Structure formats: structure tokens, C-alpha cells
A and B are shown apart, each in its own frame.
Chain A
Amino acid sequence: MAVRVQEAPFDVGAEYARFAAGGGSHGVGAIAMFVGTVRSVDDQPSVNALTLEHYPGMTERMLERIEQDARSRWPLADALIIHRYGRMLPGEGIVLVLTASAHRAAALDACAFLMDYLKTKAPFWKLEETAAGATWVDARDSDDAALTRWTA
């Protein structure tokens, strides 16, 4: 189980290989992965770059808590959350979530749960750069709504 908050890009292939290599002894039969990337076209005008600001200290604390919450809900053999901060370009990875379990339902559900909670509980803020200038991204009501499926 691990949480990493970093400015540097992550290598999805290398992270997956390392994660998968650790699963052999845990009876793992399913690994789910999510990668969130910088969209070039959100609304108009198109996005040239994205800068993520965060609250050092609280970010790690919240991500670790979210991961512990997932572990208490599903029988996970392992989980990894990597979230970047700083400036990144369209197509670059922002966040990587990996979950491993014996069967697919737990791995897929835990991966979706981690993303839904992360988007509303982890202190990150996105600043979009477009040709018209830089604007802070507004929170989406749909992100709050996504949480309700885990609390029913």
C-alpha cells in the first residue's frame, strides 16, 4: 500500500510492472488501473497547460486515509495512488490508481471508489492555461454526486 505525491511525471508501464510483480504471493487475480490525464479540450478555448496546486501535508494525510477506507471496504492485496502537482501539458498523466485483489469486482470497485473520494477529499486545485489566460477550474457537482453511490 502506498501513496505518492510528486511533481515528476510517472511511467505507467514501469509503475504497473512493479505493482504487478508484488502480487504473486498474495493470491492476486485482478489488477485495476486508472490514469487521469490532462485534457486539451475541456470547454473552449483549448487548454495549453494545467497547473495543480496542493496543500502539502494535508494532501498525503487525506490520500492515506482514503486508501485505508478502501482497504476496510474491499479485500485488497495492494493499492497505489500517485498524484502529481505542478505544471503539466495535455496528454500527461495527473493521477494513477492501481488496486489488486483476488477477483475483479473488488479491484474495479475499489479503484473507482478511490478516484471518487480523491476528487472531493484531497486538497488539489487545477489552474488551466488557455490562449485567453489562466483560470481556476470550478468544482463539479457531478463529483459530489459520484460519492453518493458509495454511501447508499
Chain B
Amino acid sequence: MIRILYFAWLKARIGRAEETLTPVPPTVGALIATLAARSGGYADAFSRPEAIRCAVNQEFAEPDQPLAAGDEVALFPPVTGG
């Protein structure tokens, strides 16, 4: 199982802030593909994968990063603080 967190417009489009997923997809990219294949808000949220950024266990991660059980995976748009 992994814990998935959503922020900003991803959270708004999906309609939830977090969820868990089992089985664990092999990589960040595989996770995004799995979520994008869902219906409703998910398809909308992931319609432009290039606009999605990811962190695994609170460190920025690329699509080829492997995932393991227990990981905290955050998905969000490019940051706009400051």
C-alpha cells in the first residue's frame, strides 16, 4: 500500500486530498498512468501529465522513480510560492 496526497488544482479536480492504493505501481509514471485511466475527475486532473509534479517521501521525484510499500507520494502542479 502507498499513501497518495493531492494538492492545489489536482486536489480540487479529483475531489479528495488523499487516498491509499494497493497494489503498489512499480514507478511514479506507472502510478500516474493508473490514476489517469480512472473516470471522472481523475481523467480531467491527469489530462496533461507534463503539468504534474511529484514528491516521494517529501523529496521531488521523476517519473522513473521506483515506488515501494509504505511510500508517501504527493502529486501536484508546479509550485507557485514566494
Contacts and interface: CB of A to CB of B under 8 A. Distances in A.
Interface stretch (B4-12, B30-38, B39-47): B4-12
Nearest to A144: B78
Contacts of A95: 81-82
Contact of A123 (B7, B9, B12): B7
The dominant DSSP class at the A interface is: mixed
A57 B42 CA distance: 25
B77 interface: yes
Contacts of A122: 79, 81-82
B81 A83 contact: yes
Nearest to A114: B82
Contacts of B79: 119-125, 139
29 contacts: A36-B82, A53-B7, A53-B8, A55-B55, A55-B74, A57-B58, A58-B55, A58-B58, A83-B82, A94-B81, A95-B81, A119-B80, A119-B81, A121-B60, A121-B79, A122-B79, A122-B81, A122-B82, A123-B55, A123-B76, A123-B79, A123-B81, A124-B79, A124-B80, A126-B81, A127-B8, A139-B77, A139-B79, A139-B80
Given A136-B77, A139-B77, 17 more contacts: A55-B5, A83-B82, A94-B81, A95-B82, A115-B82, A119-B80, A119-B81, A122-B82, A123-B76, A124-B80, A125-B79, A127-B8, A136-B12, A136-B80, A138-B78, A139-B80, A143-B82
